[in-house]
Amino acid sequence: MSFGDYQIELYLGALGGVLPAHPFDYSDLEARALAALPPELRTYVAGGAGDEATQRANVAAFQRYALVPRMLRAPAERDLSVELFGRTLASPLLLAPVGVVGICTPDQHGDVHAAEVAAATGVPLIGSTLMSDPLEDVAAAAGDAGKWFQLYTPRNRDLAASLVQRAEKAGYEAIVITLDTWVPGWRPRDLASGNFPQLRGKALANYTSDPVFREMTGPDPDPGTVVMTWVGTFGHPVTWEDLPWLRSLTDLPIVLKGICHPDDARRALDEGADGIYCSNHGGRQANGGGAALDWLPDVVTAVDGRAPVVFDSGVRTGADVVKALALGADAVAIGRPYVYGLALGGVPGAVHQVRALQAEADLIMAVDGYPTLADLGPDALRRIPS
């Protein structure tokens, strides 16, 4: 069965009188999901840094590339599989870490539901440090699906070690260290609404369930103590000097998230990183930085096959996935599409968004004559003059 067969399921359902329950168009999905979210979450989920030019650039960058159709080599079957750190995945998709997904579902257990989406689709979840349920519960909900743990490195080294060790014990298969979020970016939408979920005690379950953090707060802390203790330890500015220490915390693969410069990619691998994650946090952290997609080719060249390259930022469609792969990404992580799917339609809504992305990517490769991911090289794309 090919991923593209999802459309057959949908057409057959329609013949039986059942039309699809979930949107296909991203703009429609976003509008309906934001309407379903409580007001205090809308700006946080949808907004970006500054005037959001970088956030818009991330999306627009994909339109500057065109996939060149190749005829007379129509592949009856496509192979979208990829191997990452010893696990073979049927498709190159990942669920990106999103720190407020836990509070994007009415029951406030969105992290568990994201893991259930991973279990249902086989698409690995990268769980955020900022969860609404402890990382162990989220890992259990993912079942046999792949799962990675994203670390916002705290200032307290014992707390960092505890979080990583818990993730390793719970079955997470890699540690993703986010480098660009040791201080909040300038987000006018959130500033105007006074919205910062963590300052309201949201998405802190990995801290309140951690023995080191509990020692920091003392027994039976009030909510204010929990929040201010979190404020006091969140956001260690990771430097090159920290990498040996971080490497010493685990034998799991370490993936560095936020790498956009080729020199940083080379040095990261030289100093012990196992994977490179090219991303600008979806434009949420720093404005004026251009589209992450524009930095991807040079990062891929610098890595030179030494490690896998993960990409996110601005991915909205299956066509976007194919283009990022053609530019050299080994895996493509999606953020808002599955979060909006969860917010609007729960686990079925997010599963639909994942399957729709897989189906569109598969069918584009079929129609345009690219049987495998190995066939998607830079020569499959043409840059369109602006």
Q: For the chain, which ranges sit under pLDDT 50?
A: none
pLDDT given for residue 61 in this prediction: 97
pLDDT given for residue 324 in this prediction: 98
The mean predicted confidence, pLDDT, of the chain is: 97
- List the domain range (segments joined by +) for residue 213: 5-383
Express each pLDDT in 298-309 by its tens digit.
Answer: 999 999 999 999
Express each pLDDT in 150-197 by its tens digit.
Answer: 999 999 999 999 999 999 999 999 999 999 999 999 999 999 988 899
pLDDT given for residue 100 in this prediction: 93
Annotated binding site for glyoxylate, which residues?
44, 152, 187, 281, 284
pLDDT given for residue 386 in this prediction: 72
Q: Where residue 346 sits, what CATH number does that domain have?
A: 3.20.20.70
Annotated binding site, which residues?
44, 97-99, 128, 150, 152, 178, 187, 257, 279, 281, 284, 312-316, 335-336
pLDDT given for residue 40 in this prediction: 81
Residue 2, token pair as written in the block:
């090919």
> Catalytic site residues?
281
Query: If we measure between CA atoms, which residue out of 8, 92, 50, 73 comes closest to residue 332?
Result: 92
pLDDT given for residue 52 in this prediction: 97
pLDDT given for residue 39 in this prediction: 86
Count of the separate structural domains present in the chain: 1
pLDDT given for residue 313 in this prediction: 97
In terms of pTM, does the model score above 0.95?
A: yes
pLDDT given for residue 273 in this prediction: 98
Annotated binding site for FMN, which residues?
97-99, 128, 150, 178, 257, 279, 312-316, 335-336
Handedness of CA 18, 23, 28, 31 (dihedral sign): positive
